[in-house]
Amino acid sequence: MQQPPSDQISEAWRRHRPYLINLGYQILGDVGDAEDVAQEAFLRLSRTEPDEIDDVRGWLTVVTSRLCLDQVRSARARYERPTDTGQQALIDESPRADPADRVTLDDEVRAALLEVLRRLSPGERVAFVLHDVFGVPFDTIADTVGRPVGTCRQLARRARAKFTGAQPKLIDVASSEHQLVTEKFITACANGDIAALTAVLDPTVWGVGTVLADPAPPPQVNHGPHNVATNLLRYLGPGATLVTGPAGQPTVLAFADGRLFAAIVLTIRGALITKIEAVADPSAR
């Protein structure tokens, strides 16, 4: 999609599109659908007068959430039934396994996310993701779902309760600090902004990349903000779409043309990233 012509919208596109795609992915469970709702939100923004909106990010959040809610309610998103696999298989899976028996990164993560999403009603899904994952206040959520604030609190509470029996790694919702750092990381990578990326990296940061292949090459290790950032952006390349893992996990998923090709696990301390572990499936690019 071409970048909108207005300077104001172009700036909003650069700053907020990665966030909106991530929001849509957390609700819908499909990166293509998430990209579509983010695109529609910006199309609607382009039809408004700039002076009519005081908080562009807040406005886009509400519009995107409503679009996601409409899509879930109308059953346009057709999810596959999840299997008994989990996202931890991304890290534990042996690259020496028989390719005929190996499940792809995309299958693994989709199954993990759908295992979480299928437990929730549309209202619960939107209320939980907006509040617990992205920190949106309940009065804004009430405007989005068209229900009283108290009802939205109950929806989010019920969503949390439904996670009681879920796998712990699927329900580890990131702290607000971790969420902020992860969002800055995603936005910097999406824009190819090496300065913004190094700004969220600890001076002692190191990164390790593992490729799922047979035979598998040795892991690539990099040290220091500049080296880690440069190699990461070189690998991701232009056009990659980044989102966080299911229910706010400290994991970033990288998609190209709708296909997942890498999972990036972040270690965050003191509002900075101290370690980056990437698992990549080159066959998916």
- Taking only the tens place, the pLDDT of each residue in 113-161 is 566 666 777 788 788 778 776 778 888 888 877 788 899 888 888 877 7
CATH number belonging to domain 176-284: 3.10.450.50
Q: What percent of the chain has pLDDT over 70?
A: 74
Complete edge-to-edge strand list for the sheet that includes strand 272-280: 220-223, 201-211, 272-280, 259-269, 251-256, 241-244
Q: pTM of this prediction?
A: 0.71
In CATH, the architecture of 5-78+107-165 is Up-down Bundle (1.20)
Give me the pLDDT at residue 89, please: 37
On the question of pLDDT at 21 being above 90, the answer is yes
237: burial class by Cβ within 10 Å (0-12, 13-18, 19+)? exposed
Please report which confidence band the pLDDT of residue 201 belongs to, taking 50, 70 and 90 as the band edges: very high
Give me the pLDDT at residue 173, please: 43
CATH 3.10.450.50 occupies which residues in the chain? 176-284
Q: Could you count the other beta carbons within 10 Å of the beta carbon of residue 126?
A: 28
CATH 1.20.140.160 occupies which residues in the chain? 5-78+107-165
